[in-house]
């Protein structure tokens, strides 16, 4: 009798533990989906109107053209047979499964400051992306040794990686700074680049012309300069554009900004208002820069 009771208790405990583990995994995936959303749905990995996350989008680089990769769980053409560690390293160090380098068009320099808790959740969510077989076109360039020599050299000369904290800041201006620089990567589009693709830090968030911006699009100045930036916008105005795409003049944003808001299908539009307001608060605190984008 006693033995049966013990066995029953044991079985109930085991089932309970399994349920807890399942619930914890579900929470982690939900959190990862949120990170994925406020990272703009990793929109660069989707060709507009094609199957989500299957890559193949062409990005012009100074040396040719690079194509975003298939990030679904397909074992052959996606990330299905990468370990969590390998995906982590791709996100924060820019290394591929074979150890060679990813071109810094993929914003691993920004993601290098993403918190470990968020990376872990993001990777758990990425594991749920349905496998779709679609090979990624090869890097197209006339320069030899780009991945083995060129990129490591570029990183050494031009790039400062960040440290990934254990936990992400939870609120206020620190939260805003964290999201802008390491998760939502506003500067990836709103900070102009030189002809080598290096961001011009003295024009941080001050907008880009069609030539210095991503994919040939003009990107507005979002520093608090009153004349050429968004100095006249309230925090609520900024939060509203991030969540709904509607500007204070009731116009809607277009192009790449529309893409990251709409997401794939998760995007900035899923952002909690408090996070959007934290971003707004941080944007209000950066130095205003006079830079008119026509
Ligand atoms: C993938 C590129 C990209 C990313 C990432 C991006 N933006 Fe934008 N953003 C744009 C483009 C392009 C426009 C112009 C859209 C238009 O003219 O309709 C824009 C427009 C805006 C505007 C409207 C400004 C105005 O004067 O009309 C604001 C505000 C803005 N972005 C803030 C942000 C913030 C904050 C982030 C980060 C949370 C961000 N953007 C991330 C590309 C991007």
Domain count, the chain: 2
Boundary of a domain, candidates 127, 145, 168: 168
pTM: 0.95
Assess whether 180 and 294 both reside in one domain. Answer: yes
User: Residue 178: which domain range?
Assistant: 169-294
If asked whether residues 255 and 159 sit together in one domain, one would say: no
Are 147 and 68 part of one and the same domain?
yes
* Helix axis angle, 235-244 to 273-285, nearest 10°: 130
In a domain, 13, yes or no: no
220 CA to middle of ligand 1, Å? 7
Q: 196, 241, 183, 188: which is closest to 213 by C-alpha?
A: 188
Residue 100 CA to ligand 1 center (angstroms) comes to 32
Nearest atom, ligand 1, residue 241 CA: 29
3-state secondary structure of 196: coil
Residue nearest to atom 32 of ligand 1 (CA): 222
With bands split at pLDDT 50, 70 and 90, how would you rate the model's confidence at 282? very high
Residues 91, 174 share a domain: no
Q: Average pLDDT for residues 268-291, to the nearest whole number?
A: 98
In a domain, 29, yes or no: no
Which of 245, 247, 253, 264 to mutate to test ligand 1, by most ligand atoms within 8 A of the CB atom?
A: 253
Question: Which of the listed residues 133, 168, 203 is the one where a domain comes to its end?
Answer: 168
Q: Answer yes or no: is 65 within a domain.
A: yes
C-beta neighbour count of 218 within 10 angstroms: 14
| Domain identity same for 164 and 232 | no
Looking at ligand 1, which residue's alpha carbon is closest to its atom 1?
Answer: 256
Separation of CA 17 and ligand 1 centre (Å): 45
Question: What pLDDT, in 10s, does the model give residues 29-85?
Answer: 999 999 999 999 999 999 999 999 999 999 998 889 999 999 999 999 999 999 999
Ligand 1 centroid to 205 CA: how many Å? 10
Of 138, 168, 198, the position where a domain reaches its end is 168
Q: What single DSSP character describes residue 118?
A: H
CATH code of 218's domain? 1.10.760
Question: What are the contacts of 183-187 at 24+ separation with CB within 8 A?
Answer: 183/35, 183/38, 183/39, 183/111, 183/114, 183/118, 184/38, 184/39, 184/40, 184/260, 184/268, 184/279, 185/39, 185/40, 185/107, 185/110, 185/111, 186/222, 186/279, 186/283, 187/110
Q: Has residue 3 been placed in a domain?
A: no
265 Cα: distance to centroid of ligand 1 (angstroms): 18
Write the residue with the smallest CA distance to atom 30 of ligand 1.
222
Q: Are residues 161 and 199 in the same domain?
A: no
Give the mean pLDDT of 187-210.
95
94-119 burial string, b = 16+ CB within 10 Å, else e? bbeeeeebbbbbbbbbbbbbbbebbb
Query: Within 6 Å (CB) of ligand 1, which residues are found?
Result: 40, 180, 184-186, 188-190, 214, 217, 219-220, 222, 230, 238, 241-242, 247, 253-257, 260, 279, 283
Q: Token pair of 208, please?
A: 């880009």
**pLDDT digit string (tens) for 92-135?**
999 999 999 999 999 999 999 999 999 999 999 999 999 999 99
In angstroms, the CA 40 to CA 271 distance is 10
Residue 89: CA count within 13 A, CB half-sphere:
12
Which of 257, 280, 286, 292 has most ligand 1 atoms within 8 Å of CB, for mutation? 257
């Amino acid at each position: 009798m006693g033995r049966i009771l013990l066995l029953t208790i044991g079985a109930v405990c085991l089932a309970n533990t399994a349920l807890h583990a399942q619930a914890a995994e579900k929470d982690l995936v939900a959190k990862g989906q949120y990170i994925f959303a406020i990272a703009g749905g990793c929109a660069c990995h989707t060709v507009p109107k094609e199957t989500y996350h299957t890559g193949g989008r062409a990005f012009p680089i100074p040396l040719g053209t690079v194509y975003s990769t298939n990030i679904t769980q397909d074992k052959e053409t996606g990330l299905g047979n990468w370990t969590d560690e390998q995906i982590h390293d791709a996100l924060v160090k820019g290394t591929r499964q074979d150890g060679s380098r990813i071109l810094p068009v993929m914003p691993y320099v920004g993601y290098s400051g993403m918190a470990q808790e968020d990376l872990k959740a993001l990777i758990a969510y990425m594991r749920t992306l349905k496998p779709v077989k679609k090979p990624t076109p090869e890097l197209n360039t006339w320069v030899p040794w780009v991945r083995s020599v060129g990129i490591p050299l570029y990183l050494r000369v031009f790039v400062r990686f960040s440290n990934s904290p254990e936990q992400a800041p939870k609120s206020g201006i620190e939260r805003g700074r964290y999201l802008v620089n390491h998760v939502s990567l506003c500067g990836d589009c709103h900070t102009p680049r030189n002809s080598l693709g290096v961001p011009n830090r003295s024009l941080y968030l001050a907008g880009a012309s069609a030539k210095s911006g991503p994919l040939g699009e003009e990107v507005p100045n979002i520093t608090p300069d009153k004349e050429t930036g968004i100095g006249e916008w309230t925090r609520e105005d900024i939060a509203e554009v991030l969540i709904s795409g509607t500007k204070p003049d009731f116009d809607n944003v277009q192009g790449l900004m529309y893409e990251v808001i709409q997401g794939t299908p998760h995007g900035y539009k899923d952002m909690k208002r408090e996070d959007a307001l934290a971003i707004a608060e941080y944007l209000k605190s950066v130095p205003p820069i006079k830079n008119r984008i026509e």
